[in-house]
Structure 1
Amino acid sequence: MARLSILDLVRITREGSARQSLDNARDLAGLAERLGFTRYWVAEHHNIDGIASSATALAIAHIAAGTHTIRVGAGGIMLPNHAPIVIAEQFGTLETLFPGRIDLGLGRAPGGDALTMRALRRSFDNADNFPRDVLELQAYFAPAGAGQRIRAIPAAGTNVPIWILGSSTYGAELAAHLGLPYAFASHFAPELLLPALEIYRTRFQPSEVLERPYAMIGVNIIAADSEAEARRLRTTQQMSFVNLRRGTSTISLPPVDDIDTYWTPDEAMLAERLLARSVFGTRDQVRDGIAALVAETGADELMIVSDIYDHAARRHSLDLIAQAGGLTPPA
């Protein structure tokens, strides 16, 4: 069975706050650690009122400080938004504080709209420098060489694991060329999942980091005591996708009994196409869904998005998912 991990969007709920969302993430990471999940990631987003993880390195520090063994990281940092040396300093510091537990996933998307890109002082040309910036970042994490004039302190020698993230085939090609682990965002971009995995595996070049391909895929999973309840809990994520497309507030909303009262037929068609890689239902249904997805894709690891409004219901969902995935709690 593939490893199971969690991607937390650190959603701000209609009745909550950013602080509560960050504390909930820390609490969920502790639960995930006890249940046997491999890693717990948060992502960089900007100018989105329903997501509290914009200062991603700080969110990671908060979560890592509340856990002991689970790997914590970024899924991901949008590298074109930053100077590589700054990211090296941030994640070198995290690795120094929490040794052996920090992951750095890298993407090339802006993590926001055009106005936000300007506020970040990001150029549209920055994405073209992505491969070069990844190599520069790797160099900062490597042991400092004799006479090296620019060092990222305390990053040098920490060798923070780097992942290439993607929602198209571009990241698959780069990860294969560099011999790095690859994570595909099929939880919102499912259509290119299989072509991207094929490219990554067939073109993979072994490196000092990785001898053979290692692929992780994102998948939306919600588990509950009944299929009807899981379907109801799922409406929170469906409404979030609709609101993002409408350009309205993305504050997380409580689930509704009938999602068809919220969206139009066209919105429903688009949302369901983007959320096609979803598994929901009872523990046994989720178990079968996980097994079918791993059999279809050969994924080494699943990165689970479980976007549920109520914190207690989300805790229960993670517990059921752990059972469905056959996780063994660490000793």
Structure 2
Amino acid sequence: MKQLTRLFSATLMAAALSITSTLHADVWDTATHGYADNDGVRIHYATVGEGPLMVMIHGFPDFWYSWRHQMEGLQDDYQVVAIDQRGYNLSDSPDGDENYDMTLLTSDVAAVIRSFGEDSAVIVGHDWGGMVAWNFAFAYPQMVDRLVVINLPHPNGMQRELTINEEQRANSNYAQRFQAGSPSDPDIFFGMPMMPQTLAGWVRDTSARERYIEAFGQSDFDAMLAYYKRNYPPLPPIAETAPPPSPEVPQLNVPLLVMHGLDDTALHSDGLNNTWDWNDADTTIVAVPDAGHFVQQDAAEMVTETLRWWLGARQQ
């Protein structure tokens, strides 16, 4: 009986270790990689899981691995596809600022969805990926099942805060530097040169940081700045009253989740106000205290579980 008990305990322990190992398997080792072609520009992606298609879009300075925690947490219910935006890591980096126009960035996402043989997907974006996600929903509403934007206010909210919010205007000084500067400027990146090591300085996970350094070593710094030069709005004259919403920004009609780390020093949370006015479908806003700009890593479990709950409540 003692031998049976020991054998049973050992079997349980081995099973538990196997489950734990599976749960904590890094998508770096388990993801499948591929490319979508968009008019000759190859967009690299990493994918895990099975189910409805979900496309995740990173920001600056980042790459597909930014979503590793969410990919691990959602792969049982979705086919999660995290892309490298053009100019980053393994995606192509066409020359010229004009090749980073928002119309092309959004068409990259459409090309990825079509490469999987699908007509639509759940769209998730952070930072510049959030701006691409907003604009993708404006330009391709029929291809958006549900929309998730993380730490990037709606363009109407962003323009308003740039006009009336002194703190947001000050926070956006870096964007004006990027618009006017060059990767060769010695202090272009918050007082530092643009190098893989400095760009990866925000990554807290030391093992992940090495992968970021490798990815940035394969990226195009001119392309990174081209996002700002081509798409970031010019700083408007300061005013005491908010400007009216831009007539060029379409009204949305899609289930919308907006998440925002409240310690973000680049994008003020006041930009979230009135988001519900610009979307005719249900709108959920989640503010995450004690998390910064990269909230999907700073509060990884909360972001993943919120996504799971919110998406599950809106199963099609």
TM-score with structure 1 setting the length: 0.30
Higher relative contact order, structure no. (Cα contacts within 8 Å, ≥ 6 residues apart):
1
TM-score with structure 2 setting the length: 0.31
